[in-house]
Amino acid sequence: MANAVQLSDTDAARSTSTSYGEDAVASAQTSRPDLILMDIQLPLLDGYEATRRIKADPDLKSIPLIVVTSYALSGDEDKARLAGCDDFVAKPFSPRQLLAKIKEYV
């Protein structure tokens, strides 16, 4: 699941979810979110490739992208960062941990 998060001036957030990597890229192109939470395990186009495509787009590359995944083996964070993610959160995580990470970027 990939989530695009948009914040308003009143600190309200709107989230858009997609289940496919290609949909995540398309959603980022149309909605221009403030932040993207990207899972690696997406069908057809995985989160690594979706991240690469988003970060390769000059109009999207400045959007913070945090990988949130159960892939937490040695080297998985490095692989995610090489794909272009700005940060990495391994599951399981606490909601406070994820919120703190999001607040670092928005």
Radius of gyration of the chain (CA): 13
Helix (H) or strand (E) holding 52: helix 47-56
Burial class (CB in 10 A: 0-12, 13-18, 19+), 9: exposed
Domains along the chain with CATH numbers? 2-103 (3.40.50.2300)
Confidence of residue 5 (pLDDT cuts 50, 70, 90): low
9-29 pLDDT, tens digit each: 555 677 888 899 999 999 999
Say if residues 66 and 89 touch (Cβ distance below 8 Å): yes
47-56 and 76-83 helices, crossing angle to 10°: 30
Rounded to two decimals, the pTM is 0.85
53-95 pLDDT, tens digit each: 999 999 999 999 999 988 667 788 899 999 999 999 988 888 8
